[in-house]
């Protein structure tokens, strides 16, 4: 009995130790969606009993009921942080692959440089603080990985999208260009890629790999050299990743290979819907013919939308018998009676209302996931980032349509809205996708918490890492073996050819001797 009591005490102490881990979250991007992704994960960990420290441009206004929370504010840095202006965001999708890549690279590496050199972050580094894990938002943020090295603890990455070239390489995850589309490629066909698509997909993979190792990683390395001259080379920390949490789920991204330390937690930030404000509740309750929700996301400000585009939406909306909720920063006096405009809308609560039949959106992953969660078909007008990929997935899986914002016409918009409202195949497709999305052994947030705690329990969980992480690309693809085989076969064929020619010459010589 005494032995059992001691065993129980040891187990309790062990569990308590895990439940009070010290975790540093690094989410310096001043973008609303990224802040939501960071705080939702860290709040979940705080509620599980952990002590959270977060490097952030915003002060966290909520108080966890468990654990503790400390902000390391990047105060004074907001004016220096390379936040793209609204006109840039509306035009990003017009740029080619290389232009978009450099634009993101400039924004994100500058953010890392400002973050690591901020006085509050430097004070944290030089303090006596200790951490059991560091969680970094994985957006070209390789320089920020140094914090896990400095605090001598496991590095966990939160990928705001699903598996891609940047995450796959860090985990040694297989990603054949023949079957897995590149992040910047959008294939809406349900079948395998055509020869042409596989060709361009391979080119994108090669170009992406080249720029990652010729531009992205070296730039992050120079930040480290300038800020921490005595610390290791960037590649010494680049592959030292214990866990990658992926904001994706196979229900809408499709099944892809995943290394054991890559865990899908798509939708972890979605909370059960709360009560709607009375004006919105009454508006939607009265929508007997259904309602449409229109929002271009938290970061894009629809008030700077070109006037001709606003008129297109207004003209189409006024012809509908459905009601429309439009998240817009300015009111439009000329709007019809069936349109309700608000600067801010509780999106999750709106999408959960049974009368909402369609969501018109820019296609951000948070918005897309919330629509799938609530089973609402999508009309997507993507502008930048992963939005085009999300739109392609919606079309491919049959629960949405895609329109170009830049070439939008009244006819295009009206036809798409009518198709999505009255063709029930879209509603059925989103319902099936929603069922798959929700059918999991535990909630995505619980899954994230479990694996973070797992990595802490097992001191980085090195047993989860697959062989080949950090291996040279030509070794990974066995190109050196193929080269050796090619040389051996070539030498064999050359020798065989030489032997045959020698035999032929000998036979011919013998015949000449006999004739003479």
DSSP 33-63: HHHHHHHHHHHHHHHTT-EEEEEESS-----
Q: What pLDDT was estimated at residue 207?
A: 86
What is the per-residue burial (b if ≥16 Cβ within 10 Å, else e) of 418-440? eebbeeeebbebbeebbeebeeb
Q: What pLDDT was estimated at residue 90?
A: 63
Is the CB of residue 351 less than 8 Å from the CB of residue 295? no
End-to-end CA, the chain: 110
Cα–Cα distance between 103 and 505 in angstroms, integer?
67
Low-confidence ranges of the chain (pLDDT < 70): 1-19, 78-79, 81-95, 184-191, 299-303, 511-516
Q: What pLDDT was estimated at residue 188?
A: 59
Is the CB of residue 426 less than 8 Å from the CB of residue 377? yes
Q: What pLDDT was estimated at residue 78?
A: 66
Among positive and negative, which fits the CA dihedral 74, 43, 352, 158?
A: positive
DSSP code at position 145: G
Q: What pLDDT was estimated at residue 7?
A: 43
Helical segments of 161-274, H only: 165-171, 195-211, 217-227, 234-238, 250-253
- Report the chain's C-alpha Rg in angstroms: 28
Q: What pLDDT was estimated at residue 86?
A: 59
Is the CB of residue 353 less than 8 Å from the CB of residue 374? no
Report the half-sphere exposure of 174 (CA within 13 A, side-chain side).
Answer: 8
Is the CB of residue 187 less than 8 Å from the CB of residue 215? no
Picking from 116, 158, 117, 140, the residue whose alpha carbon sits closest to that of residue 219 is: 140
Long-range CB pairs of 421-429, under 8 A, 24+ apart, other chains included: 421/290, 421/322, 421/357, 421/358, 425/398, 426/377, 426/398, 426/399, 426/400, 426/401, 427/357, 427/375, 427/377, 429/377, 429/397, 429/398, 429/399
Picking from 162, 201, 137, the residue whose alpha carbon sits closest to that of residue 386 is: 162
Q: What pLDDT was estimated at residue 1?
A: 39
Among positive and negative, which fits the CA dihedral 272, 275, 280, 281?
A: positive
> For the purposes of burial, counting CB atoms within 10 Å of the CB of 478, is it exposed (0-12), middle (13-18) or buried (19 or more)?
exposed
**pTM of the prediction?**
0.86
The pLDDT tens digits for 274-316 are 999 999 999 999 999 999 999 988 766 666 778 898 999 999 9
Is the CB of residue 166 less than 8 Å from the CB of residue 252? no
Enter the tokens of residue 183.
């992040």
| Close Cβ partners of 268 (under 8 Å, ≥ 6 residues apart) | 40, 41, 44, 247, 443, 444, 445, 447, 448
The pLDDT tens digits for 432-471 are 999 999 999 999 999 999 999 999 999 999 999 998 787 8
Is the CB of residue 96 less than 8 Å from the CB of residue 118? no
Q: What pLDDT was estimated at residue 8?
A: 43
Is residue 230 helix, strand or coil? coil
Q: What pLDDT was estimated at residue 493?
A: 93
Is the CB of residue 27 less than 8 Å from the CB of residue 55? yes
Cα–Cα distance between 42 and 272 in angstroms, integer?
18
Picking from 216, 241, 240, 237, the residue whose alpha carbon sits closest to that of residue 228 is: 237
Enter the tokens of residue 457.
């329990």
Q: What pLDDT was estimated at residue 414?
A: 96
Q: What pLDDT was estimated at residue 16?
A: 45
The pLDDT tens digits for 163-185 are 887 888 898 888 888 888 777 66
What is the per-residue burial (b if ≥16 Cβ within 10 Å, else e) of 299-335? bbbbeebeeebbebbbebbeebebbbbbbbeeeeeeb
């Amino acid at each position: 009995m005494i032995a059992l009591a001691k065993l129980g005490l040891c187990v309790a102490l062990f569990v308590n130790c895990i439940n009070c881990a010290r975790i540093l979250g690094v989410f310096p991007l001043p973008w609303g969606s990224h802040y939501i992704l960071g705080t939702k994960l860290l709040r979940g960990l705080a509620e599980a009993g952990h002590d959270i420290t977060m490097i952030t441009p915003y002060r966290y206004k909520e108080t966890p009921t468990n654990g503790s929370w400390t902000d390391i504010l990047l105060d004074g840095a907001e004016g220096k942080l390379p936040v793209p202006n609204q006109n840039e965001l509306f035009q990003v999708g017009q740029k080619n692959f290389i232009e978009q890549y450099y634009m993101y690279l400039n924004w994100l590496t500058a953010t890392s440089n400002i973050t690591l050199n901020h006085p509050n972050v430097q004070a944290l580094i030089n303090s006596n603080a200790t951490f059991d894990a560091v969680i970094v938002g994985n957006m070209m943020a390789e320089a920020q990985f140094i914090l896990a090295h400095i605090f001598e603890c496991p590095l966990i990455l939160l990928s705001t999208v699903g598996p891609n070239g940047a995450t796959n390489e860090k985990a040694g995850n297989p990603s054949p260009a023949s079957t897995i589309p590149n992040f910047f490629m959008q294939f809406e066909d349900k079948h395998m890629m055509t020869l042409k698509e596989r060709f361009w997909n391979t080119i994108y993979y090669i170009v992406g790999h080249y720029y990652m190792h010729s531009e992205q990683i070296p730039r992050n390395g120079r930040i480290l050299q300038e800020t921490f001259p005595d610390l290791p080379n960037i590649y010494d920390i680049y592959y030292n990743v214990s866990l990658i949490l992926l904001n994706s789920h196979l229900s809408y991204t499709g099944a892809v290979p995943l290394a054991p330390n890559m865990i899908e937690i798509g939708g972890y930030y979605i909370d059960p819907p709360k009560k709607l404000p009375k004006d919105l509740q009454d508006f939607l309750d009265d929508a007997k013919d259904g309602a449409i929700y229109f929002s271009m996301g938290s970061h894009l400000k629809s008030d700077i939308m070109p006037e001709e585009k606003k008129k297109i939406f207004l003209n189409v909306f006024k012809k509908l018998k459905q009601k429309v909720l439009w998240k817009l920063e300015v009111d439009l006096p000329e709007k019809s009676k069936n349109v309700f405009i608000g600067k801010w809308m509780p999106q999750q609560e709106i999408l959960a209302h049974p009368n909402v039949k369609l969501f018109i959106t820019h296609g951000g992953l948070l918005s897309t996931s919330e629509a799938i969660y609530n089973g609402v078909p999508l009309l997507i007008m993507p502008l930048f980032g992963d939005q085009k990929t999300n739109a392609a997935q919606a079309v491919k899986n049959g629960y949405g349509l895609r329109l170009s914002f830049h070439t939008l016409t009244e006819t295009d918009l009206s036809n798409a809205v009518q198709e999505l409202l009255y063709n029930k195949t879209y509603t059925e497709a989103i319902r099936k996708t929603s069922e798959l999305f929700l059918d999991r052994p535990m909630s995505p947030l619980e899954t994230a918490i479990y694996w973070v705690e797992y990595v802490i329990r097992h001191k980085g969980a090195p047993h989860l890492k697959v062989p080949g992480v950090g291996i040279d690309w030509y070794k990974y693809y066995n190109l050196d073996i193929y080269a050796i085989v090619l040389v051996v076969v070539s030498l064999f064929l050359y020798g065989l050819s030489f032997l045959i020619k020698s035999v032929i010459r000998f036979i011919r010589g013998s015949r000449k001797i006999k004739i003479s």
